[in-house]
Chain A
Amino acid sequence: MAPEPPLLTMSGITKSFPGVRALDGVDLDVQAGEVHCLLGQNGAGKSTLIKVLSGAHQPDDGTIAWRGAPVTLKSPIAAMRLGIATIYQELDLVDGLSVAENVHLGREPTTAGCVVRGREARTATARLLERLGHPEIDPARLVAELSAAQRQIVSMARALSHEVRLIVMDEPSAALDPDEVGNLFRIVAGLTATGVAVVYISHRLEEIRRIGDRVTVLKDGRAVAGGLPARSTPTREIVALMTGRTVEYVFPDRPRSRPPGEPVLTVRDLSRQGEFAPFDLDVRPGEIVGLAGLVGSGRSEILETVYGARRPATGRITVDGRPLRTGSVRAAVRAGLGLAPEERKAQALLMLESVTRNVSVSSMSRYAYGGWIDRRAERAAARAATRELSLRPDDPAVPVGTLSGGNQQKAVLARWLLRGCRVLLLDEPTRGVDVGARAELYAVIRRLADEGLAVLLVSSEIPEVLGLADRVLVLREGRVVHTAPARDLDEHRVLDLVLEGGPVAAEGSPTS
C-alpha cells in the first residue's frame, strides 16, 4: 500500500466491563479513502470497539495512532477534533430542533458569541445536504417530521459539518429501504473519493461485498482476521472466522423421542407490518422450539406479539386449542403464557423489590383474600419456586437487584413457574449471564420442558439455539427462511441462512 502511515492504527485494544472482557487485544488499521468493514456476531465487540474509537469508552490497554502519531481519545469531542465522526445506530438527533440546528448543535455560528446566525447555519446545511444528494430536505424543517432515512442523512450532514477524515457508521442500512441503501452507497463512494475513510459495520454480507475494500472479523472480543479483501474472500471463510468458537457450552441431553401430544401453542399466519411476514408455528408440551436470527430479524417482535405486548396485523393464536385474544398481555397470561423478556431490568424486574415480590407479582391474587395478601403463604410459595430453580442466595427477602444475572433470570422463571404457566417464551435467556452460570440455566430450561412446559426460545447466539432447542426456525429480515430439527443443522448452515437468505427467500427483496 501507500508508503505513508495508515490514517488510523489501533493496536492491542483491550476493554473489560464487570464480568466481561469485551475487547481482548484487538488490532485495526484504516487507510485514507478506504471502506473498512467490521464484521462479527452479536456480542463480538464491534460496538465496544467503535465506542473506543469515538472516544466514548476509554480502553484499559492498547494504543491508538492517528496519522502515525500516538493519541488518546479522552472524549467524543477529542475524537471529533481529530476528524473522527461516528454515526450511531441509535441516531442522536434532537427531535424538537430543525435540521440546521441539529447539524450545528453545539457549534452554532454566532454573532457576539451568543446570537445564532440562523441563515448562515441554514445555508451551510443546505450545501451539505446537496453534497449528500438530498437537496430536497429543508434545513428549516423539524427533525421530528423527517423519515428514518432522512434522519440518517441529517446525521451524516452533521458528521460532515466538521473537518472529517474518518466516519464510523454503525449499521447504517438497518433502518433503510433498498433504494435508500443505494443512495447511502453513493454517498459513501463520494466520501472515499475525496480521501475520507469509512469504518462500516453491517450484518449483511452482500453490502460488504458491494462497498467494502477490506474486512476485519471480530469474535469474542478478538480480531480473528484483519484486513481481508472484502470482495474476494469466500463467504465460507468469513462464516468460519465468525463462528470458530473458543468457549464450549454444555447443553443438557434432549429426550430421545419427539414428545407426543397435541400442540399447546399454535400460531397461524401471524404477521406485523414492517416487522415479520406471516408464519405458522406449533409448540408441543415438552418441546423447545428455537428462533434463530440476527438482531432486527423479527425474533423478539414475534415473541412479544405472541405474548400480546404487540398487536399483530394478521394471524390467529391458540393455547390448548382455545383461541387467544391477540394484543392483550393479560389475556395471554391468563391463558398460560409467560415471557422472560430480553431486557430483564427494563421489562421484567422490580429492581428495588425483594425476590419474593418479584416472583409473586403475576400470581399474588392467589395468596390474597379480598385483596389482603397472606404473606406467609406467598413467601412459602415463592421460596418453593426459587428453591426448585436453585436460585442463590436462598433468601427470598433480598432485593432482586443484588442478584447476579443468572439468578435474576431464575427469579423471572420462578415467577412463571409459580403462576403455573403452560408456555414459556424466552427472549435471550442468557444475556448478561456469565459463562459458568449458563450451563445451569440451560439445564433448568430443559427440565422445565421435560416437566411438560412448551418453550419458545429466541437467541442471537446460534450455538445456544442449536444446543437447547429441539426444532429451529431460522429468520432473516422478518421471514422464516428455514425450519428443521436442531440436530439436522449446524452453526455454519444457520449462519449461511441468516446472512444470505436461503433456498426459500434467496431472491431476497427484504420487507420493511
Chain B
Amino acid sequence: MTQHVSAPRDGTGKTLSTGEPPAWRTALARADVRTLSLLGVLAALVVIGGVTRPEEFLDTRNLQLVLTQASVIGVVTVGMTFVITSGGIDLSVGAIVALASVWATTVATQEYGFSGILFTAVLVGLGCGLVNGVLVAYGRMVPFIATLAMLASARGLALQITGGRTQIVTVDGVLKLGERDSYVLGVPPLVLVFAVVTVIGWLLLNRTTFGRRTVAVGGNAEAARLAGIDVRRQRLYLYLLSGLCCGIAAFLLVVLSGSGQNTNGNLYELDAIAAAIIGGTLLSGGRGTITGSVLGVLIFTTITDIFALNNLQSDVQQIAKGAIIVAAVLVQRRTASTA
C-alpha cells in the first residue's frame, strides 16, 4: 500500500528486515505503479500508431521527429516539475521561451554567432527567472500572480523586439545543429540535450540537498522553515532553474525552426503543467517525479504525432489531451487516498 509513496523517491528499499536490500529489489520497488502505468499508456499509443499508420509511424524519421518535438517542451517541463514540487507554479514559461528566442535572434545578437545566440537565450531565461523568484520569494507574491505578470510582460517585450516579424537565423553553426548531418548515431543533438537535462534534473531532485529542500518546501513549508531550511532562498533558486530551462528550450527552438518568433512557446505553460501532473507530480507540492514528467511529455507528443499522421485535426487532439488530464488526475486522487 505504501510502496508507491516512498519507493520512487528514494532507493532505500522496502524490506522490513535489517540490512540493505538487494539491488534488483530496489530497482523493482522504484518502478512504481504509476510509472509502469504511464509506460503502459505509452506502449499502447505506440501500438495504436503502429497499427493505424504502420508505414509512417514506425519509421526512424518519425521517431526522430517525435523526440525532437518532445525535446523543447520536455526541457521546460523538467524546470516546471521542480517549481510544482515546491508548491509553486510558473505560468510564464511559454512567454520566457518566446522572449529568449527572439532576443537571441536579433540582428545584433546574431553578429556574435553561435555562442552569442546560446548565451543570450540562457541569460534572458535566467533574468526572467530571477524576477519571478524575487517577486515570489522576497516580494511574497503568490506565484500564480507573479508569473502571470511575467507572462504578459515577456510576451509584450517579445512582440516589441520583433515588431511581429519572424527573425530568420543566418548563423550556420546554429542551423547545422538541426540538420541530419549532426545526428549522433541517429540521435538528433536536440534530443541529446533533452536527455542530459532529464538526467541532471533527476539527479538534482533525487540525489542532492537541493532536491530534498525542494520537496521539503513543497511538502510543508512551515516545517521546512522550522527545520532550518532557508525557504525563501530555495524558492528563488527554483524560479531561476525554471528560467534556465526556458532559456535552453528557447535555444533548442531556435535551432529547430531556424528562426525566432514572438509567438513561440504559445501555451507551453499548460503543456508543461499537464505533463508534470499526469506524470505524478502533486500540484499541491511535496512530491515530484522527473521520470513521470518526461513520460507525460512523450505521451502528449506521441498523441499529437498519431493524430497528425491520421489526418485528424488539432481540435480533436485538444479534446483528447483534456480527457487524458482529467483521467490522470482522477487516478492520482484515488492512489493518494489509498496511500
Contacts and interface: CB of A to CB of B under 8 A. Distances in A.
Interface of A: 307, 309, 329-330, 332-334, 339, 341, 346-354, 356-357, 361-362, 364-365, 368, 371-373, 375, 379, 393-399, 402, 415
Interface stretch (B90-98, B132-140, B160-168, B215-223): B215-223
Nearest to A395: B16
Given A356-B12, A373-B209, A349 B226 contact: no
Contacts of A372: 207-208
Given A351-B220, A371-B210, A397 B10 contact: yes
Given A333-B228, A352-B286, 7 more contacts: A329-B228, A347-B220, A350-B216, A352-B5, A356-B10, A361-B224, A364-B209
B10 A375 contact: yes
B138 to A, nearest CB: 15
B73 to A, nearest CB: 27
How many B residues touch the partner, as a band? 20 to 34
Contact of B13 (A332, A362, A393, A397): A397
B18 interface: yes
Contacts of A379: 12
Nearest to B21: A397
A354 B12 contact: yes
Contacts of A347: 220, 222-223, 226
Contact of A329 (B16, B208, B226): B226
Contacts of B229: 361
Interface string B281-321: 00000110000000000000000000000000000000000
B237 to A, nearest CB: 11
Contacts of B227: 333, 348, 361-362, 415
A349 B220 contact: yes
Sorted from nearest, which 7 A-B pairs have the closest CB atoms?
Answer: A333-B228, A397-B12, A350-B219, A371-B208, A362-B227, A361-B227, A368-B209
Nearest to B211: A373
Contacts of A375: 10-12, 207
B179 interface: no
Contacts of B207: 372-373, 375
Contacts of B2: 398-399, 402
B111 interface: no
Given A361-B216, A373-B208, A398 B228 contact: no
B34 interface: no
Contacts of B18: 394
Interface in B203-248: 207-210, 212, 215-216, 219-220, 222-230
Contact of A346 (B5, B9, B216, B222): B222
B240 to A, nearest CB: 15
Contacts of B11: 375
16 contacts: A347-B220, A349-B223, A350-B216, A350-B219, A354-B10, A354-B12, A356-B10, A361-B212, A364-B209, A373-B207, A375-B11, A396-B12, A397-B10, A397-B14, A398-B2, A399-B5
A393 B224 CA distance: 24
B6 interface: yes
B226 A397 contact: no
A331 to B, nearest CB: 9
A432 B13 CA distance: 29
A152 B144 CA distance: 34
A379 B18 CA distance: 12
A372 B12 CA distance: 16
Interface in B1-35: 2, 5-6, 9-16, 18
Given A330-B230, A393-B16, A350 B10 contact: no
A357 B212 contact: yes
Contact of B6 (A309, A333, A354, A415): A354
Given A368-B209, A372-B207, A373-B207, A351 B226 contact: no
Contacts of B222: 346-347
Contacts of B10: 354, 356-357, 375, 397
Contacts of B15: 395
Nearest to B13: A397
A357 B219 CA distance: 12
A307 B222 CA distance: 14
A309 B228 CA distance: 10
Given A351-B220, A361-B229, A368 B208 contact: yes
B42 to A, nearest CB: 26
Contacts of B5: 352, 399
B221 to A, nearest CB: 10
A348 B220 CA distance: 8
Given A350-B215, A372-B207, A399 B6 contact: yes
B31 to A, nearest CB: 16
Contact of A309 (B14, B209, B216, B226): B226
B208 A348 contact: no
